[in-house]
Amino acid sequence: MSLKHFHLVFLVFAILCDAGFWLWMHFMPEEAAKAGAAPLKNYAGLLCLTLLVYAVWYIGKKMRTII
């Protein structure tokens, strides 16, 4: 597996984990508050969107120019 493919796999797992974390905080706010993670909800959502934008940019522009 090349480094660019590893980068894509890592990026997909990062998006899935972050989206899962945001969904947990969104649909189970009581448990998130008990764990002390409730203030991170907005940051997790923003990070997920940022990672998605980066993935689209990487696949569309950057990956074509990398050997």
The string of pLDDT tens digits covering residues 45-63 is 999 999 999 999 988 887 6
Query: Rounded CA gap, 51 and 61, in Å?
Result: 15
Please state the pTM of the whole predicted model. 0.83
Q: Is the dihedral angle over the CA atoms 36, 27, 45, 53 positive or is it negative?
A: positive
Q: How do residues 10-20 score in pLDDT, each as one tens digit?
A: 999 999 999 99
Query: Rounded CA gap, 65 and 8, in Å?
Result: 15
> Judging by beta carbons within 10 Å of its beta carbon (0-12, 13-18, 19+), is residue 11 exposed, middle or buried?
middle
